[in-house]
Amino acid sequence: MFIFKKQKDLREFLDGQTGSIGFVPTMGALHEGHISLLQTSKQSCDLSVCSIFVNPTQFNDPKDFEKYPVTIDEDIRLLSEAGTDVLFLPDVAEMYPDGLNGLTAFDIGELDLILEGQFRPGHFNGVCQIVYRLLTAVRPTHLFLGEKDFQQCMVIQQLMKQTGMDISLITCPTLREDSGLAKSSRNARLSPEALEKAALIYSCLNHIKEKKNEAPFPVLREEAMHILHQNGFDTEYLELAESATLRLLDDFSATQSMILLIATRLEGVRLIDNLRV
């Protein structure tokens, strides 16, 4: 595996390659979910590039940024074992040579006003800042993102359309622990007891899905919120939305594809998940 820290060196190498380039951007602290994206890239592309960069501009909460787990040696081992061709490992000065202030804002529109956008002001603008720079550096033919960050996939799809980038977006399924908990770098910050309890997030989503013909969504949401609260969760949102547009729905619809989305905190760690209904 080649490791590049500078865009110039990365470009020099990639300019000498032919064929399709799959790209998996990450913030490190890698787990099997990240590796599954890489494997999907390897199956469909001639060359697979992964990046690790903990992007300061997407953390609306500075404490979350400070506490973000960093396990770079282990990450390099996992990526190398998975057969990654190239790891791009820039530092902040490389990605933001003009500093972090006064960056031009992207037009995120409605997606910035709901769910993650509403509860993490500035987050998606930070995501767009870094993804635009990474896509410009790597120039992939295919981009692999996890459905766990469902709204992020929609924001990035919109970003690529707005900026005229002709890149195929492949959205990959969420990998879970045996308990059902979505694998996440942030899970490492949970105590063993909280890790067990965190499985309730997915079971609540499943419960709502299973009962959708028996009770209205607001009733099922109340039940789930109550269970989560009793177990020490502090829930930011639990919503039902149209999956094509993320328009929020008051109740289940017989005609639309829907998705449940949740963000909740346990032991101060913010966890998100979703489930198609």
Please identify every residue annotated as catalytic: 34
Contact 25, 167 (CB under 8 A): no
Quick check: 175 binds ligand AMP (CB under 6 A)? Answer: yes
Quick check: 172 binds ligand AMP (CB under 6 A)? Answer: yes
- Whichever of 36 and 48 has its CB closer to ligand AMP, that residue is 36
What residue has token string 């390099």? Answer: 76
- Whichever of 184 and 264 has its CB closer to ligand AMP, that residue is 184
Task: Give the one residue of 7, 184, 187, 264 binding ligand AMP; rule: CB under 6 A.
Answer: 184
Expressed in percent and rounded to 5, the helix, strand and coil fractions of the chain are 45, 20, 35
Quick check: 27 binds ligand AMP (CB under 6 A)? Answer: yes
Task: Read off φ and ψ for residue 275, nearest 5 degrees.
Answer: -150, 130
Residue 69: how many other CB atoms lie within 10 Å: 13
Task: Give the one residue of 145, 208, 238, 258 binding ligand AMP; rule: CB under 6 A.
Answer: 145
Quick check: 241 binds ligand AMP (CB under 6 A)? Answer: no
Token pair for 93: 């000065």
Interface region with ligand AMP, contact rule CB under 6 A, candidates 5-13, 178-186, 190-198, 242-250: 178-186
Write down the least CB distance from residue 216 to ligand AMP, Å: 30
Interface region with ligand AMP, contact rule CB under 6 A, candidates 64-72, 118-126, 176-184, 219-227: 176-184
Token pair for 101: 């202030």
Interface region with ligand AMP, contact rule CB under 6 A, candidates 32-40, 88-96, 128-136, 233-241: 32-40
Quick check: 37 binds ligand AMP (CB under 6 A)? Answer: yes
Contacts of 241 (CB under 8 A, 6+ apart): 114, 115, 247, 248, 249, 258, 259, 261
Quick check: 26 binds ligand AMP (CB under 6 A)? Answer: yes
Helix (H) / strand (E) containing 172: strand 168-172
Distance CA 176, CA 216 (A): 28
In the range 150-169, which residues lie near ligand AMP by CB under 6 A? none
Task: Give the one residue of 40, 129, 158, 185 binding ligand AMP; rule: CB under 6 A.
Answer: 185
Task: Give the one residue of 120, 123, 142, 183 binding ligand AMP; rule: CB under 6 A.
Answer: 183
Distance, CA of 169 to chain centre: 13
Helix 199-210 and helix 217-230, axial crossing angle in degrees, nearest 10: 160
What residue has token string 């202030």? Answer: 101
Distance CA 275, CA 208 (A): 10
Quick check: 82 binds ligand AMP (CB under 6 A)? Answer: no
CA quadruple 175, 60, 133, 150: dihedral, nearest 10: 30
Q: What is the DSSP letter of 134?
A: H
Quick check: 33 binds ligand AMP (CB under 6 A)? Answer: yes
Gap between the terminal Cα atoms of the chain: 40
Task: Give the one residue of 148, 189, 197, 221 binding ligand AMP; rule: CB under 6 A.
Answer: 148
Interface region with ligand AMP, contact rule CB under 6 A, candidates 83-91, 142-150, 219-227, 233-241: 142-150
Quick check: 174 binds ligand AMP (CB under 6 A)? Answer: yes
> Which residues are near ligand AMP by CB under 6 A?
26-27, 33-34, 36-37, 145-146, 148-149, 172, 174-175, 182-185
